[in-house]
Amino acid sequence: MSSLSNPVLERRTRHRGISAAAILLAAALGTSGCVGAAPTDSSEVIRLGSVNTLSGPATFSEAPDAAAAVFDRVNAAGGIHGRMIEYLALDDKGDPATATALARELVSSEEVLALVGGGSLLDCEVNAGYYEQTGIRSIQGLGVDPGCFESPNIAPTNIGPFNDTTLTMLFGSERLGLSRLCVFTSIVGSTAPAYREAIGRWSEITGKDTVFVDETVPYGAPEYSAPIVRAREAGCDAIVSNAGGPDAVGQVLAANQQGWEDITFLFLTGAFSAGFASAIDDSAAGVYVPAEFYPFTEANGVTAAWRTLMNDNDIELTSFSQGGYLAATFMVEVLEGIDGEITRDSVNEALATMQPIENDMLAYPYEFGRIAGQDYEPGGWPVVLRSGTNAWERASEDWLTIPSH
């Protein structure tokens, strides 16, 4: 390994359960594994950070891992105007108190210039007020909770589960012609109003209504027979669900057990994974998802640069790693455009005045102020999993977007 310092690598050991204090001390002493002595003077590095849920029942490690890979690549090429990027990605463990403490560690103690590439169950909701108070901006790799979409200081690269809910319902009713949509929402924290608003937005656009909305469907249920039976008895032709991973698999398997062959599932991006596809043999009438980024399952020029970097760094190809990659890529472009000293103030100014960045992995140009203000048309690319295929495929030749208000 080269003896040259690469501060970005310091953050990777934070994902391994070592305490933040111990890692910070190791970084200050230059004793983190085989990495050389890292600069500790903030004038020598561009210090960026993120608060992430890296352990617990739902994790998003691919987002900060992908962001770190981008920063590693930039450092290897000489940094930003000769300055290396130091990236500190910390684990809030899905705990509000920990998320609160880590935000203050990054912003006040570490004096990061911006937050980039994070993916957390609750960071935005817990810390948005603090970020506004201290004047720090965040390009989330994954916006998860409602606070990520309600703050002028936070502009995620993804459209989030609430816009995603409206999109999947629009695809089901307007593209697939489904008329009896039943909605399962697993509610965590204060997300219920945001999901209701997303469903209401679909109704406003289409003039249609759901058969029912069930907000009592739990995460991590041992099995999902009861809600599936209720939906079948109600005559639903589609189930809209915010379940992801094992929960989404459980809902499809419950329908299989009921012999329900003509039900369509309208899931969110959290269900769009190779693991989900390999776990499902019978997708009934199909599982559809509006992927928040250009489908990662498509190996073509749109995803080529991201795919190569992820493969080179052994990072899983997922929507989560797409979000982290794009967040870091956008931040690098903003930093490279700063003429003069790079400080928190100059980064904030650059984000506030940035020109829109076009990227084919997104349905819309990325512009911090408009994204933070939700002043754009969110879009996703519909994909489908059909019975017996174990592979996702595009269900549309173009992006599906939510019309402006």
Task: List the structure tokens of 56.
Answer: 């617990």
What tens digit of pLDDT does each residue of 67-118 get?
999 999 999 999 999 999 999 999 999 999 999 999 999 999 999 999 999 9
Report the distance separating Cα 268 and Cα 244, nearest Å: 7
Question: Is 186 in the same domain as 216?
Answer: yes
Helix (H) or strand (E) holding 309: helix 304-312
Report the distance separating Cα 333 and Cα 301, nearest Å: 20
Question: Is 21 in the same domain as 151?
Answer: yes
* Rg (alpha carbons) of the chain, rounded to whole number: 21
Q: Is 2 inside any structural domain?
A: no
Report the distance separating Cα 86 and Cα 12, nearest Å: 11
197: Cα separation from own chain's centroid: 20
Report the distance separating Cα 99 and Cα 267, nearest Å: 28
Report the distance separating Cα 235 and Cα 273, nearest Å: 29
Task: Please report the pLDDT score of residue 214 as a whole number.
Answer: 95
Closest CA to 290 of 388, 198, 214: 198
Task: List the structure tokens of 348.
Answer: 């904030």
Helix (H) or strand (E) holding 346: helix 344-353
Closest CA to 143 of 160, 126, 125: 160
HSE toward the beta carbon, residue 352, CA cutoff 13 A = 11
Question: Is 333 in the same domain as 255?
Answer: no
Domain containing 320: what range?
Answer: 7-159+300-372
Task: Please report the pLDDT score of residue 38 as a whole number.
Answer: 39
Q: Is 265 inside any structural domain?
A: yes
Buried b (16+ CB within 10 A) or exposed e, 16-34: eeeebeebbebbeeeebee
337 CB-contact burial (10 Å; exposed 0-12 / middle 13-18 / buried 19+): exposed
Question: Distance of CA 311 to CAs 35, 121, 362, Å?
Answer: 22, 26, 21
Report the distance separating Cα 145 and Cα 189, nearest Å: 9
Helix (H) or strand (E) holding 291: strand 287-291
End-to-end CA distance of the chain: 54
11 near 87, Cβ under 8 Å?
yes
CATH number at 116 reads: 3.40.50.2300
Q: Is 11 inside any structural domain?
A: yes
121 near 115, Cβ under 8 Å?
no
Task: Please report the pLDDT score of residue 244 as a whole number.
Answer: 87
Task: Please report the pLDDT score of residue 358 as a whole number.
Answer: 97
Task: Please report the pLDDT score of residue 20 as a whole number.
Answer: 34
Task: Please report the pLDDT score of residue 190 as a whole number.
Answer: 82
List of the chain residues with pLDDT < 70? 1-43, 405
Question: Is 236 in the same domain as 384?
Answer: yes
Report the distance separating Cα 355 and Cα 357, nearest Å: 6
Question: Is 74 in the same domain as 147?
Answer: yes
Question: Is 284 in the same domain as 348?
Answer: no
Task: Please report the pLDDT score of residue 227 as a whole number.
Answer: 95
Q: Is 113 inside any structural domain?
A: yes
Pairing of strands 181-184, 212-214: parallel
189 near 219, Cβ under 8 Å?
no
What tens digit of pLDDT does each residue of 23-36 get?
333 333 232 222 22
Q: Is 328 inside any structural domain?
A: yes
Question: Is 337 in the same domain as 354?
Answer: yes
Question: Is 175 in the same domain as 322?
Answer: no
Question: Is 51 in the same domain as 98?
Answer: yes
Question: Is 180 in the same domain as 146?
Answer: no
Q: Is 1 inside any structural domain?
A: no
Question: Is 120 in the same domain as 178?
Answer: no
Q: Is 326 inside any structural domain?
A: yes
Task: Please report the pLDDT score of residue 23 as a whole number.
Answer: 31
Closest CA to 348 of 158, 153, 156, 143: 153
Task: Please report the pLDDT score of residue 31 as a whole number.
Answer: 27
Question: Is 364 in the same domain as 391?
Answer: no
HSE toward the beta carbon, residue 392, CA cutoff 13 A = 27
Task: Please report the pLDDT score of residue 198 as a whole number.
Answer: 97
Q: Is 62 inside any structural domain?
A: yes
Contacts of 267 (CB under 8 A, 6+ apart): 168, 241, 242, 243, 244, 248, 287, 288, 289
Q: Give me the number of domains the chain comprises.
A: 2
127 near 100, Cβ under 8 Å?
yes
